[in-house]
């Protein structure tokens, strides 16, 4: 089997862009052509989410390398939501997309190992030809919360390596209050810098052929100075960059996340792509009836922005 970050590099080279589409379905924002948001029980919401996310995947699979389902929006609706999530992960992988499950799990010992085994794909499901719903959710990578310490990360690392998967550890998050704890000074530097150093050590321990480890970092677009500083101190760590678009991050803000080759980062956009039909620049042009065309236009627009303003432009045809 191929190292996770090497698979990610191949996927990015094939699409020639580092866009990650966040699959964050929200009942109140779904197009009216998908469902009537006021009259749905859990099963019908889960079915609507499945229909919507599959429709998004159909649009973006030829355009981008990665999708990132947000587990919380599915877990909210109980067992039907989990079933929908598993089927969407399997469908995305059947379309050749790499799937990062945004679950932000964090625990110790056997509990952490159980989370990892339940969320990360085992080797028999690491083929895009597999379209069934596996016993585990079978994502290619998962987001992890490190604040229980190194022994909370080790089980995730071990399972990820055994299953040729990856991790993205929260380091410097994009939310406004992230600095409440992450920016606290300890031994002369902020807490997030200590976390970053540990994540970099795990990346070096798990290097693939393209020079990046199977353990990556979540670093937000809303703090561009810290993003660039962390790239300099974490040369073997791949970044998952949230905060682009609706949270205010721009292509210029994320430029520091990349190496000179255009590698080293994937940039996530969720609401700005999924619900593009509600954005002023697309509302009159497409509207709810043509919501997939709006997803297509917004995705292509983001790709163009990143190519113009970041080293990701080095991935584009010359």
String of DSSP letters for the chain: ---HHHHHHHHHHHHTS-EEEEE---GGGS-TTT--TTS--HHHHHHHHHHHHHHHHHHHTTT-SEEEEBHHHHHTTHHHHHHHHHHHHHHHHHTT-EEEEEEEE---HHHHHHHHHHHBPPGGG-STT--S--SS--BSEEEE--TT-HHHHHHHHHHHHHTT-EEEEEEE-SSTTTHHHHT-EETTEEHHHHHHHHHHHHHHHTB-TTS-BSEEEEE-TT-HHHHHHHHHH-TT-PEEE--BSTTSB-HHHHGGGS-TTS-SEEEEESHHHHTGGGSHHHHTTT-GGGHHHHHHHHHHHHHHHHHHHSGGGGGS--
Over the stretch 184-243, which tens digit does the pLDDT of each residue have? 999 999 999 999 999 999 999 999 999 999 999 999 999 999 999 999 999 999 999 999
Q: What is the pLDDT of residue 135?
A: 54
Provide the domain count of the chain. Answer: 1
Of the residues 16, 26, 27, 104, only one is catalytic, namely: 104
Q: What is the pLDDT of residue 316?
A: 60
Q: Does the residue 136 lie in any domain?
A: yes
Neighbouring residues of 228: CB distance < 8 A, sequence distance ≥ 6: 256, 257
104 is a catalytic site residue: yes
Q: Does the residue 129 lie in any domain?
A: yes
Over the stretch 48-69, which tens digit does the pLDDT of each residue have? 999 999 999 999 999 999 999 9
Mean pLDDT of 270-278: 96
Neighbouring residues of 261: CB distance < 8 A, sequence distance ≥ 6: 311, 314, 315
Higher pLDDT, 76 or 248: 76
Higher pLDDT, 286 or 135: 286
Q: What is the pLDDT of residue 137?
A: 87
Sign of the torsion angle spanned by Cα atoms 191, 144, 64, 80 = negative
Phi, psi of 169 (to 5 degrees): -95, 135
Q: What is the pLDDT of residue 246?
A: 80
Mean pLDDT of 138-164: 96
Q: Does the residue 303 lie in any domain?
A: yes
Q: Does the residue 245 lie in any domain?
A: yes
Q: What is the pLDDT of residue 133?
A: 42
Q: 252 to each of 84, 150, 225, 227, how far by Cα in Å?
A: 36, 33, 11, 12
Q: What is the pLDDT of residue 123?
A: 45
Q: What percent of the chain has pLDDT over 90?
A: 84
Beta-strand relationship, 189-190 and 185-186: antiparallel
Q: Does the residue 318 lie in any domain?
A: no
Mean pLDDT of 85-105: 96
Total number of residues shown for the chain? 318
Q: Would the pLDDT of 127 be above 90?
A: no
Mean pLDDT of 292-301: 98
Q: What is the pLDDT of residue 37?
A: 60
Nearest residue to 100 (alpha-carbon basis) of 132, 64, 63 = 64
Mean pLDDT of 9-15: 96
Q: Would the pLDDT of 125 be above 60?
A: no
For the chain, the C-alpha Rg in angstroms (whole number) is 19
Q: Would the pLDDT of 128 be above 50?
A: no
Confidence of residue 4 (pLDDT cuts 50, 70, 90): very high
Q: Would the pLDDT of 310 be above 80?
A: yes
Q: What is the mean pLDDT of the chain?
A: 92
Instruction: List, as one string, the DSSP characters of 178-221.
Output: THHHHT-EETTEEHHHHHHHHHHHHHHHTB-TTS-BSEEEEE-T
CATH of the domain at 275: 3.20.20.70
Backbone dihedral region for residue 42 (phi beyond 0: left; psi -120 to 50: alpha; all else: beta): alpha
Mean pLDDT of 168-194: 93
Q: What is the pLDDT of residue 245?
A: 85
Q: What is the pLDDT of residue 247?
A: 83
Q: Does the residue 119 lie in any domain?
A: yes
In which domain, by residue range, is 107 found?
4-312
What are the residues facing 219 on neighbouring strands? 172
Q: Would the pLDDT of 11 be above 90?
A: yes
Q: What is the pLDDT of residue 179?
A: 86
Q: Does the residue 317 lie in any domain?
A: no
Q: Does the residue 114 lie in any domain?
A: yes
Q: What is the pLDDT of residue 38?
A: 65
Confidence of residue 278 (pLDDT cuts 50, 70, 90): very high
Q: What is the pLDDT of residue 248?
A: 85
Nearest residue to 274 (alpha-carbon basis) of 10, 54, 15 = 54
């Amino acid at each position: 089997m191929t190292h996770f970050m090497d698979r990610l590099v191949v996927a990015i080279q094939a699409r020639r862009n580092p866009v990650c589409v966040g699959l964050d379905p929200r009942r109140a924002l779904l197009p009216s052509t998908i469902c009537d948001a006021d009259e749905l029980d859990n099963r019908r919401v889960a079915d609507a989410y499945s229909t919507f996310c599959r429709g998004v995947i159909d649009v973006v699979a030829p355009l981008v390398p990665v999708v990132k389902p947000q587990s919380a929006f599915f877990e909210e609706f109980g067992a039907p939501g989990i079933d929908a999530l598993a089927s969407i992960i399997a469908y995305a992988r059947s379309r050749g997309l790499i799937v990062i499950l945004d679950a932000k799990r964090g625990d110790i010992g056997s509990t952490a190992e159980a989370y990892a085994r339940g969320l990360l794909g085992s080797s028999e499901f690491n083929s895009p030809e597999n379209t069934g719903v596996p016993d585990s959710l079978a994502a290619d990578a998962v987001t992890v919360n490190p604040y229980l310490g190194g022994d909370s990360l080790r089980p995730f690392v071990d399972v990820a390596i055994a299953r040729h998967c990856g991790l993205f550890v929260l380091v410097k998050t994009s939310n406004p209050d992230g600095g409440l704890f992450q920016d606290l000074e300890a031994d002369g530097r902020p807490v997030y810098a200590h976390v970053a150093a540990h994540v970099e050590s795990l990346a070096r321990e798990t290097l693939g052929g393209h020079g990046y480890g199977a353990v990556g970092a979540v670093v937000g677009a809303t703090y561009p100075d810290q993003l660039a500083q962390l790239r300099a101190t974490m040369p073997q760590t791949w970044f998952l960059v949230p905060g682009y678009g609706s949270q205010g991050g721009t292509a210029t803000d994320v430029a520091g996340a990349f190496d000179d080759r255009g590698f080293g980062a994937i940039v996530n956009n969720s609401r700005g792509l999924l619900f593009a039909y509600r954005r002023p620049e697309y509302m009159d042009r497409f509207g709810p009836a043509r919501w997939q065309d709006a997803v297509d236009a917004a995705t292509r627009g983001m790709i163009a922005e990143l190519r113009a303003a970041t080293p990701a432009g080095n991935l584009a045809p010359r």
